[in-house]
Each structure stands twice: as C-alpha cells, then as structure tokens.
Amino acid sequence: MAIKQNFGKKDVLTHVGTIAAPFSSGVAGGICAPFQILTTQAIKTIFLYLSGTVNVATNNLSAVLANGVHKLLQSIAITVNKKPGAIALNGYTLHVKNLKDHGFTQPFADLASVNLGNGKAFSACFRIDFVTPGYPGGDATMFKPLPGFIYNLEIAFDAVTRLGTPANAGEMTWAAAPTIDVVLHEILDVEKTPNVYNSSYLLTFPLTAISSDFKVPLPYGGKVNEYHLHATDANGLWSNSILNKITLRNGQKEVMRALPNVLHRAIQDSLAGMPAAVAAPTGVYYVDLALNNSFRSVRDTTGMTELQLGLDVAALGTLYVLVNEFRQGADVLGS
C-alpha cells in the first residue's frame, strides 16, 4: 500500500446537517430517511451526535439501562448507489470500536435517573473514522467521494425501551423526535488518495450448542487488521461467561490465536494500551492481527480458502463479529 502524508493541507470541521428520527411520540423505533453525504473533499472522520428526550409517566423506571444510548442505534450504514458500502454496524459496536481505536470513551449520557418526569435527556457522540487511528501514515485511508456516485448515511433506531425499563408498558415515551447531527472532518484540496479504505461490518452467529470447538466461518479475501467479538447470553446481555477459549485458524494449517478467556481479555487490553478505566467492556474480545499498528502487518486473507473461529462455548447465546479490514482496488467504495 502506498502511504502518502498530506502535509500542509487544511482541515475543517463542517456541520453538514441533521438527521431526524421518523417518530416524535410513542415507544417504537424506526428507519430514518437516507442522509446524502455531499462533499468532494477527502473525509477523515464523520462525527455523529445523537440527542433526545423522553417522558416517564406515572411510575419511576425499574432501571436505566447501561449504554442504552449506544444500543438505541440499531444500525448505521453507508451505502453507495443504494448498495452496501464499507460501513455496516450498530451503535454499540461503533462505541466499542471508538473505545479501542482511541483509548477513551467518547462523550455520552444515558438517562440520569429512574425518576419519572418529562424531558429526560440522553446524548452520545460517535465517530466513523476513515483514517486509521494509531497507524503511521494512517491518513492514507481517508475517504474521497468519487464523482457520479451517491453516498448515503442510513440509520435505524430501536425502541425507546433500549434506554430504560418502565414499570409498566407504555410509561416511557419519546418526548420529541431524537436527532443526529452530522459533522464532517475533511482535508481540503487533496487531489487523490491511494484508494485504500477502512471497512467495518457486523456479522451475527447464533451460538446454538455448548461445544469445545464451535466453528464460526469468517469471510476471507480482504486485508484484516482486527476482529471484535461480542458475546451475549440467551437474554441478549453481554457476558464473559459464554466463551471459554477463542481460536482463529486458516483451515487446519495455521492457528493465529488460541487463548483462554481470562488470558485473552488481559492480554488484549495490554496490547491495545487500554487503561483499566476503559478496558474492554463485558463480553467483548479484541482479536488484533496487526500488533505493531502498521499496514504491512495486517493479515492478508486473499489467498486463503477457509478462515474460521473455533470457540469453546460454555453457554448458549449469540456472537457478533465486527470485521475491520482494508479494501483497495475493486473493493473500494464507489468502484
């Protein structure tokens, strides 16, 4: 991959618009209208600022749900001419990716209390990074929209009960339509980028059997820098008790990772330089294949015929796999 720094170029932050949720009352979520990304400049990061209010009537909430504001965004995707692009995840997996990439939690506020009342506020900041944080020459992966293509940001909301548990159904409702402000961090007058892009997309696998070697097939053909594994129990709660051991292998030929649960969680945070206050959340495992944060050390899977996880599964649940890889050439956005 050719790495070229853009020294001397100006960078700007521009508020390019607001996405409004397609509801303003009741309890249900919904799919927002597509938001077109209109720029010809190279994009380092898209910032999303979510904010809104709810009303809680009659009784206090039974509970405020941790990271509810992140889990409220059911899906976040960038499409190209109405086809899947390089970004397809949800609010919580994006929150965890931001934590891993930057070593600190982006600003957010779940509901402040269980107390009933009107206009109870929530908010969260997310970032979709096209540059590669922590990589020398990471600006090489900036995204420069190509002429003649339509790039849309598409977001769906979950129900209001992602934020908290009402004592009785219907006692917590939207006070107004939540909004997402969109801010672009752009580098001006970049004529051409190397057409190398960060791609992050989410896969879902039901864990249907307790097994010492539960096989999960992974896609191959890209240049992978890391996987994030999210393990949830049968009730949909993130848990450290689902997986005993994680192995990543290329067929039977090569074991890339084979670590027990406790060791994996301890070593992953050490390698990532994560302070204890922002260590990997419960049920989350980082499988980092580029340990020295360089483009040359990413795992090229283009020549593989099989790539899979072998999991020691202790309890039934669901595994979410966030694939973070680089795309180039025919796989780039808009090609």
State how far the Cα of 150 lies from the Cα of 280, in Å rounded to an integer: 36
pLDDT of residue 118: 97
Predicted model pTM: 0.91
Is residue 29's pLDDT more than 90? yes
Is residue 197's pLDDT more than 80? no
- What tens digit of pLDDT does each residue of 282-335 get? 999 888 887 666 666 678 888 788 889 999 999 999 999 999 988 764 444 444
Look at phi and psi of residue 206 and say left if phi exceeds 0, alpha if psi is from -120 to 50, else beta.
beta
- Which pLDDT band, with edges at 50, 70 and 90, does 32 fall under? very high
Residue that wins the pLDDT comparison between 82 and 198: 82
What is the chain's mean pLDDT, rounded?
87
pLDDT of residue 254: 60
State how far the Cα of 310 lies from the Cα of 322, in Å rounded to an integer: 16
Whose structure tokens read 């692009």?
85
pLDDT of residue 291: 66
- What tens digit of pLDDT does each residue of 88-102 get? 999 999 999 999 888
- What tens digit of pLDDT does each residue of 212-223 get? 999 999 998 888
Contacts of 199 (CB under 8 A, 6+ apart): 86, 87, 222, 323, 324, 325, 326, 327, 331
Residue that wins the pLDDT comparison between 256 and 327: 327
Q: What percentage of the chain exceeds 70 in pLDDT?
A: 83
- What tens digit of pLDDT does each residue of 131-189 get? 877 766 667 778 888 888 999 999 999 999 999 999 999 999 999 999 999 999 998 88
Q: Do 47 and 126 form a contact (C-beta atoms < 8 A)?
A: yes
Is residue 236's pLDDT more than 50? yes
pLDDT of residue 271: 61
Is residue 30's pLDDT more than 50? yes
State how far the Cα of 202 lies from the Cα of 87, in Å rounded to an integer: 9
Q: Where are the alpha helices (DSSP H) in the chain?
A: 68-71, 91-102, 261-271
Across the range 50-65, mean pLDDT stands at 97
- Which pLDDT band, with edges at 50, 70 and 90, does 7 fall under? very low
State how far the Cα of 94 lies from the Cα of 284, in Å rounded to an integer: 13
pLDDT of residue 169: 94
| Of 6-10, 120-124, 279-283, 314-318, the least confident | 6-10
pLDDT of residue 4: 46
pLDDT of residue 294: 62
For the chain, the residue count is 335
Sequential DSSP letters for 37-57: ----SEEEEEEEEEEEEEEE-
| Of 133-137, 195-199, 261-265, 291-295, the least confident | 291-295
Residue ranges and CATH numbers for the domains of the chain are: 11-187 (2.70.9.30), 196-331 (2.60.120.20)
